[in-house]
C-alpha cells in the first residue's frame, strides 16, 4: 500500500495565518491551524512581517503534519509593501493593502502616465492599495528608511523566501504591484517611483518551485516549496475556476472576479487587470469595506449581524476605511434616508446592501474585461468569511438576481495554495488538482427577482454624495 502523501497550503491574510494539511490524492483536509495577526489602527494600516513568520510556524505546527508534508505553498494578502534590510530583516512594518495614505502618490502616478497608458502597461489603474503607490509614499515620507532597503517583497514572497532562502515571486501577485506587466517589470514606472529593479525578486513561471525548506524551520528540511501567489489567485486555484465563472468573496475586503481568456486593461480603474497563478488572467474588482464594516454597524446598533429586516428607505455607504471601488480613499461612512419608522434591522440591512452594491455592479465589467459574456444562468460562487452568513446570502441573492452557490470547502485560499503544492509534486496544473478534489461543490441557492429599486437608491445616493465623499485622503 502506497504511503499517504500530504501537502500544506498556507493563507497569510490581513487578520491571521491559516494552514491546511491536505491529502494529495483526495483533497481531504487532515489537519488545520490558525494564528492571529495584529494590524495598526489610526491613519495607516501596518503589520510587522515578523509576526506573519511566527504565525506561519504556529499554524503549520497545529496541522500535525509539519514534519511529514511533501510540499508546501504560501498564499498571501496582495499589495503589501515589505521592505527588508541587507540582513533580510524588516526595515519597518509592512504597509498593507488597506492603508490609504498613499492615495496622493497613486493619483500622481495615474496622472503622470495617463489612465489609458498605465492600464496598457500594467493592466490596472493604480489606487492607494497598489504597492507602487506605497513605495512612492515611503520614498516621500520616510526617505531614510527607504535608503536602508535592500529588498522589496510582497507578503507571500517574504514568507516563501524565509522558508527557502531564495528570492522569488509569481505573475499573479506581481500583477497587483502596479510595476509589472506581461513583459516583466516596467522600468519606466520603477524609475518614476524611484525603485531599483535589483531590489525585486525574479518572477517564476507557473508550476515551478522556488526550492526546499531549509534547516531549523517550521517544516521538515527538504520539503518542496512552490512559488505561492496572492490570496485572490490562490482562491481561484482552490475553486478550479473555468473562464466566465464569477466569484464573490466576502472577507475583510470584498472582491468579485472571474478567470478571463484575454488580458484586461480597464482605464476606468473599476477592474484590476490581474494575472492568475497559471497562464491566464483574473480581472477583479475590490472594495476595502466588507464584512468588518457591516459588523461594525451591527455593533453600533447593538444587534447580532443576522438581525436584519428588509424594507425601508435608508441607504448606508459603509466606507469606514475610505474606499477603493468606487475610488474614494478619503471617504467615510454615510447614512441617508432615515425616517421615523426606520428600524435598526432595516439600517443594518442597508449596510449589507451598501457593502455588496459596488461588487455586484462591477460584475459585468469584470466579465467583459476578461473577454467573457455575462450569463445570468451561471451561478455566482460565494466564498470568504461572510459566505455562510444567512444575511449575506440573502443580500447577494436579492441584489444579483443570480443563483448563488456556496462551496462546502472552507479556507479556499489555503486550499488553493495546497493545490499549487500538490501540482508541484504531480506535474498537473493546480486548477486540475482542485477540480479533482471537487472543491467548488456545495449548497445551491435558487435565484430571486433582483431588487433594482434598492440598487438604484444606492447608486443615486452615491452620485449625490460625491461632494462629501470625494475629499482626498490626508497626505501623511
Choosing from 173, 186, 231, 276, which is the catalytic residue? 231
Burial 297-314 (b: 16+ CB within 10 A, else e): bbeeeeeebeebeeebeb
DSSP per-residue letters across 95-126: EPTT-GGGHHHHHHHHHHH-HHHHHHHHSS--
**CA pair distance 439, 441, nearest whole angstrom:** 6
Give the orientation angle of helix 231-239 with respect to helix 412-426, to 10 degrees.
Answer: 70
Calpha distance 279→417 (Å, rounded): 16
Q: For cell 480581472, what's the residue?
A: 283
Query: Which residue is listed with cell 504560501?
Result: 74
Residues 6+ apart with CB under 8 A from 13: 37, 76, 77, 231, 251, 252, 413
Crossing angle for the helix pair 390-400 and 452-464, nearest 10 degrees? 90
Q: Nearest-5° angle of CA 349, CA 352, CA 355?
A: 150
Active site annotation includes 231: yes
Residue 190 has which C-alpha cell? 520603477
CA count, 13 A, side-chain hemisphere, 61? 9
Distance CA 276, CA 174 (A): 10
Q: Are 13 and 413 in contact (CB under 8 A)?
A: yes
3-state SS assignment for residue 10:
strand
Residues with a known catalytic role: 231
Amino acid at each position: 500500500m502506497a504511503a499517504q502523501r500530504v501537502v500544506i497550503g498556507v493563507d497569510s491574510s490581513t487578520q491571521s495565518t491559516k494552514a491546511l494539511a491536505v491529502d494529495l490524492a483526495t483533497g481531504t483536509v487532515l489537519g488545520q491551524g490558525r494564528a492571529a495577526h495584529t494590524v495598526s489602527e489610526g491613519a495607516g494600516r501596518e503589520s510587522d512581517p515578523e509576526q506573519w513568520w511566527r504565525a506561519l510556524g504556529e499554524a503549520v505546527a497545529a496541522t500535525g503534519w509539519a514534519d511529514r508534508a511533501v510540499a508546501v505553498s504560501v498564499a498571501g494578502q496582495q499589495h503589501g509593501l515589505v521592505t527588508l534590510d541587507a540582513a533580510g530583516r524588516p526595515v519597518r512594518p509592512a504597509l498593507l493593502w488597506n492603508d490609504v495614505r498613499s492615495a496622493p502618490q497613486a493619483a500622481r502616478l495615474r496622472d503622470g502616465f495617463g489612465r489609458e497608458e498605465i492600464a496598457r502597461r500594467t493592466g490596472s489603474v493604480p489606487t492607494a492599495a497598489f504597492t507602487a503607490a506605497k513605495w512612492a509614499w515611503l520614498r516621500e515620507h520616510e526617505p531614510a528608511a527607504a535608503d536602508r532597503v535592500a529588498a522589496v517583497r510582497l507578503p507571500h514572497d517574504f514568507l516563501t523566501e524565509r522558508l527557502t532562502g531564495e528570492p522569488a515571486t509569481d505573475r499573479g501577485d506581481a500583477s497587483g504591484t502596479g510595476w509589472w506587466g506581461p513583459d516583466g517589470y516596467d522600468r519606466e514606472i520603477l524609475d518614476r517611483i524611484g525603485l531599483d529593479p535589483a531590489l525585486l525578486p525574479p518572477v517564476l513561471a507557473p508550476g515551478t518551485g522556488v526550492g526546499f525548506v531549509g534547516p531549523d524551520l517550521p517544516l521538515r528540511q527538504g520539503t518542496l516549496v512552490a512559488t505561492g501567489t496572492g490570496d485572490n489567485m490562490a482562491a481561484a486555484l482552490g475553486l478550479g475556476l473555468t473562464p466566465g465563472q464569477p466569484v464573490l468573496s466576502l472577507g475583510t475586503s470584498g472582491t468579485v472576479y472571474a478567470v478571463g481568456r484575454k488580458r484586461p486593461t480597464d482605464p476606468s480603474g473599476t477592474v484590476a487587470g490581474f494575472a492568475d497563478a497559471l497562464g491566464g488572467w483574473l480581472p477583479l474588482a475590490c472594495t476595502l469595506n466588507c464584512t468588518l464594516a457591516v459588523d461594525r454597524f451591527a455593533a453600533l446598533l447593538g444587534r447580532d449581524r443576522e438581525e436584519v429586516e428588509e424594507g425601508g428607505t435608508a441607504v448606508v455607504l459603509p466606507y469606514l476605511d475610505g474606499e477603493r471601488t468606487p475610488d474614494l480613499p478619503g471617504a467615510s461612512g454615510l447614512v441617508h434616508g432615515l425616517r421615523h419608522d426606520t428600524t435598526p434591522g432595516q439600517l443594518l440591512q442597508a449596510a449589507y446592501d451598501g457593502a455588496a452594491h459596488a461588487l455586484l455592479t462591477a460584475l459585468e465589467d469584470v466579465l467583459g474585461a476578461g473577454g467573457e459574456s455575462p450569463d445570468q444562468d451561471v451561478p455566482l460562487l460565494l466564498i470568504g468569511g461572510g459566505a455562510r452568513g444567512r444575511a449575506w446570502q440573502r443580500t447577494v441573492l436579492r441584489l444579483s438576481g443570480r443563483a448563488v452557490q456556496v462551496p462546502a470547502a472552507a479556507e479556499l485560499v489555503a486550499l488553493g495554495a495546497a493545490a499549487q503544492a500538490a501540482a508541484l509534486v504531480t506535474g498537473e496544473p493546480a486548477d486540475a488538482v482542485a477540480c479533482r478534489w471537487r472543491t467548488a461543490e456545495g449548497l445551491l441557492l435558487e435565484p430571486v427577482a433582483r431588487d433594482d429599486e434598492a440598487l438604484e437608491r444606492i447608486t443615486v445616493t452615491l452620485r449625490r454624495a460625491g461632494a462629501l465623499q470625494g475629499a482626498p485622503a490626508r497626505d501623511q
